[in-house]
Amino acid sequence: MQEYYYELVETMKRKIHSFITITDADVANPSEARSFKKRLNDGHMRTSNLIHEVKNVPADQLAKKISNSVTALGIDGCAEAIQSISKQGEYFAFLRVVSHNLLGTRTWGHLLQPVETYLLDFKDDIQQDINDVTGKIIEQMQTNISNIAAKIKEYYQSKMRSMIFQLLQAEINFGHAFIMNMTKKMKRSNTTQDLSRKLREGVSDDDTFKISSDANNVWRHGKYLIFLQIISNETLYTPSPSQLITPLNEAATYLKESQGWYEFLTNLYEKLSTYNVQKNRIKYNVANIADWGQNNKQQGISITRHNFKQFMENMRTFNVMGYNKIKNIEADDIRVEDLRQVASLTLNKFHVSCQSNKLTIKGGYIRLSEAIVEIGNCKRNTTEIFALNKIFIDKNLNKIGEKLKLVMIAPTWEVIGRRTINLSGADAPPHNPPKASDGEGDGGRGADGRPGLPGGPAGSFFGVGTTFLNGNRLNIVANGGHGGLGQDGGNGGPGSDGDSPSSDMKYYNSYDNNYFCDSLCFGSGECHGTSLNDFQLCYLGVTAKGFYCKVYGFVRVPTLFYNDEMFEIDIHGKDGTPGGDGGDGGRNGYGGKSGDVMLITLGNDAGISSFNNNGSDGTMGKGGEGGAGGREGYSIYLECLRQYALFFRAKDKFIELVHRGDRGYAQSGNGGINGANRANIQNPEPSAIISFKAKIINNYKSYARENLDVDVGGRIWKNDIMKFIRELDTNRDIKHM
C-alpha cells in the first residue's frame, strides 16, 4: 500500500511541478485531480477504518478484511500477500483448535498504522507543493499580465513614433477602450481562474497587440489553479482580480494621458501656426527656455528631458486648449521628441538659397514680409517660395520695373490686411530735355522730337494653393508700363531782319557824302508798268549801300541863273529772311507688355483679384512752332532838289524825307506735326514669362516628400502634405502644363 500511494503521490507531485514549465493546458484535467484526491482520501479513510476493524479480528478473518479494502481501493499486486495472510490465518485457527486452548487474538491495527501515517504525511507534503507551485503560477500570471500591458503600451508607443497626429488619437482611443472593456469584465471575476478565462476571451482573433501567447499562458495558469484547488485541502491564496489587473490599469492610464497629450500637441501646433505667433517667432524660438516670450534672445529652441517641465510651465500662460489635462504629465523619450518636433516645425526659420539664377525660399511657414527682405538681399529676377503649410501675405510687394518672376506654392494662403503684389513694368521715362533743339542759324528748321520710349515689361506670377484665407483682400498686378511721351519738336529759328536805309537827312545832306540827286541810285533799269504822270523819267538802280532803289523822272524849273530839277527817290530796305519750320513731334511710346498671372486654386475660389494688361501708349510729342519771319527793311521816300547854275553844276543840298514805309515781316515757318516722327522708335521688350511650370510643381513635390519622414516632422504634417500632393497630381490645369 505504501508503494502504491508513494507512486501515486510522487506522480502527482511531478505533474504539479511541471505546471511551472510546461505549456500544455490539457495535462491539468480536473477529472484527474478529482480522481487523485478521491483515491488519496479513500486510501486514508479505508486505512483508518481497516485499522479500527482489525483491532480484535481473528487471524483467519484478517486476510478477508485486508482483501476487501485493497480491492475497494483498486490497489494491484497484493494478491500473493493476501493469500499468504489467509493461509497463515488458517494455520493460526488450526493451532487454536488442536491446542484445546482459545488462543488470544492480536491487535493487527498497529501493523497498518505506518500506512495511515504515511498517507497523512503525503497529504501534508503534497499540500506544501501545491502552495509553492500556486505561488509560482501566480507570479507567472502576474508576469504575463504585465507583459500584456507592456505589449499594448509598446504597440501604441510604436504608433506614437510613426503615425501621423491626425490618426493617432483615434488609435489611442481604441486601445484605451479595449483595455477598459477587458478590465471591466475581469473585475467582475469571482476567482483568478475566472479572470484568466475572461482575459483570453477578450483577445481579438487578429491579435493586434501580439498578446495571445501571454493571454493563453494566463488562461493555462488558470486551469492549473483549478486543478490545484481541486486536490488542495485548503483554499488557495490568490490575489484579487483588481490586484492582478493593476498593470492593465496602468497601461490604460498611460493611454488616457496620451489621449490628452496629443490633443494638447495638436492645439499647440495650431497655436504656434497662427500669424500672431509667427510674426513674433523670434520671441519663442529661444535657445534658453527661460527666455520664452522675450525679444533679442539667442535663437534655436531645443526641447530635452531637462527642460521639458520648464517648457510645459511656460504653456500655463500660453492659453493652449487641453493644457490642464496634462500639465503634470511626465516626460519620456516619445513626448520629448513630440514636443521638439512641434516646436521645430513651427518656430524654426525658413531656408534660403540664393543661386546664380534664382532665389529659393523653403519652409513650413513663410511670411511675405520676411521673404521681401531676402528678395532685396539676393537680387535675382526669379523667386520661388515653397511653404509646406502656409504663406502669410502680410506686406505689399512692390517690384515695379524689376521684371520679377514670382512663384508661390503652399496649401494655405492667409492675407493679413489689404495687400498688393505689384510686378508691373515701369512707365517709360520722359525724354530729357522734353523738347528737341530749336532751329539754328537764319530760319533754321527745328529738330524733330524723338519717339517716346516703350513702357517696361511686367514680371509674372505663378501661384498654387488650396485654401485662401481673406483672398478677396489681395490684388496681384502685372500690367505693362505706360509708354513714354514723344519728345516735342524744336521750334523753327527766326528769320533775320532786313537792313533798312538810313532815314537821317543829315547823312544825305552832308557835303562830305557828295550825294547828288542823280547819284543816290545807280542804275538804268526801266520802270516797267509805271505811269510817269508828271515825271519825265523813271529808272531802277541800287544805292551805294546796296539797297534797291527807284528814281522817278525830274521836272526842270528854269530861272535866270539856275535850273532846278526835282527827283523822288524810293529806296527799299533789304528783305527779311523767312522763319524756320518747327520740328515734328515724336510719336508716342508703345505701352509695355503685360506679364502672366496664373493662379491655380485646388479648392474653392480664391477670391484674389488679378490684373495683367498691356500698358497704354504714351502721349504724342507736340510739333515745334514755326520761326517768326525777319522784319523787312524799311523803305524811305526822298525828294531831292538839284539846282544847276548856268555854267556849272551845284551840289544837291535839298534832300528831304517825305515818307518812311514799314514793309512788315518775312513769312513765318510752318509748325511741326504732332507725333509725326517715328524714326528709330523702340518696340517694347517681351515680358518676363515663367517657363517650365510643370518642373516647378515637381520640384515642390520633391521638397514636400523630403519632409514626410518621421524624423523631420512627417508625423505632424504628413497627412496634410500628402493631401496637397494628391491635389497637385489630380488637378486638370497642372496635368495639361
Cα gap 553→538, rounded to integer Å: 5
User: Among the three residues 347, 371, 398, which one is the final residue of a domain in this structure?
Assistant: 347
Of the candidates 365, 471, 477, which has an alpha carbon nearest to the alpha carbon of residue 418?
471
Highest mean pLDDT among 61-75, 231-245, 475-489, 710-724: 475-489
40 and 113 housed in the same domain: yes
617 and 635 housed in the same domain: no
H or E, element range at 405? strand 405-409
340 and 357 housed in the same domain: no
User: CB-based contacts of 276: which residues, under 8 Å, 6+ apart?
Assistant: none
549 and 610 housed in the same domain: no
Cα gap 278→346, rounded to integer Å: 8
Residue 533, classified by CB atoms within 10 Å of its CB into exposed (0-12), middle (13-18) or buried (19+), is: exposed
535 pLDDT higher than 70: no
The answer to whether residue 180 is domain-embedded is: no
381 pLDDT higher than 80: yes
Of 206 and 189, more confident? 189
Question: Are 677 and 489 in contact, with CB atoms under 8 Å apart?
Answer: yes
Q: Strands 359-367, 351-354: parallel, antiparallel or unpaired by DSSP?
A: antiparallel
299 and 392 housed in the same domain: no
Q: pLDDT of 444-468, one tens digit each?
A: 999 999 999 999 999 999 999 999 9
295 pLDDT higher than 60: yes
Count of the separate structural domains present in the chain = 4
636 and 552 housed in the same domain: yes
The answer to whether residue 281 is domain-embedded is: yes
Mean pLDDT of 697-721: 88
Q: How confident is the model at residue 559 (pLDDT cuts 50, 70, 90)?
A: low
- pLDDT score of 87: 54
The answer to whether residue 176 is domain-embedded is: no
Q: Give me the helix-helix angle, 165-187 and 109-162, nearest 10°.
A: 160
Mean pLDDT of 628-636: 94
Cα gap 429→453, rounded to integer Å: 7
Cα gap 197→194, rounded to integer Å: 5
Chain centroid, CA 510 distance in Å = 105
Q: pLDDT of 257-272, one tens digit each?
A: 999 999 999 999 999 9
Q: How confident is the model at residue 156 (pLDDT cuts 50, 70, 90)?
A: very high
The answer to whether residue 474 is domain-embedded is: yes
Residue 687, classified by CB atoms within 10 Å of its CB into exposed (0-12), middle (13-18) or buried (19+), is: buried
The answer to whether residue 138 is domain-embedded is: no
279 and 341 housed in the same domain: yes
The answer to whether residue 523 is domain-embedded is: yes
The answer to whether residue 712 is domain-embedded is: no
The answer to whether residue 179 is domain-embedded is: no
Chain centroid, CA 177 distance in Å = 36
Cα gap 573→348, rounded to integer Å: 93
Q: How confident is the model at residue 56 (pLDDT cuts 50, 70, 90)?
A: low
DSSP letter for 731, please.
-
Q: Secondary structure of the chain: what % helix, strand, coil (to 5)? A: 45, 15, 40
DSSP 51-66: HHHTSS--HHHHHHHH
Q: Give me the helix-helix angle, 693-706 and 714-730, nearest 10°.
A: 160
334 and 360 housed in the same domain: no
387 pLDDT higher than 60: yes
User: Among the three residues 347, 370, 393, which one is the final residue of a domain in this structure?
Assistant: 347
**Which 3 state secondary structure label does DSSP give 98?**
helix
User: Among the three residues 105, 129, 153, which one is the final residue of a domain in this structure?
Assistant: 129
328 and 477 housed in the same domain: no
- pLDDT score of 109: 52
375 and 470 housed in the same domain: yes
Enter the pTM of the model: 0.76
- pLDDT score of 476: 98
Chain centroid, CA 238 distance in Å = 60
403 and 537 housed in the same domain: no
626 pLDDT higher than 90: yes
418 pLDDT higher than 90: yes
DSSP letter for 532, please.
-
540 and 653 housed in the same domain: yes
Q: pLDDT of 323-335, one tens digit each?
A: 999 999 999 999 9
Residue 235, classified by CB atoms within 10 Å of its CB into exposed (0-12), middle (13-18) or buried (19+), is: exposed
- pLDDT score of 506: 74
Q: Tell me the residue range of the domain where 286 lies.
A: 273-347
Chain centroid, CA 414 distance in Å = 11
Q: pLDDT of 79-121, one tens digit each?
A: 555 555 555 555 555 455 555 555 545 555 555 556 656 666 6
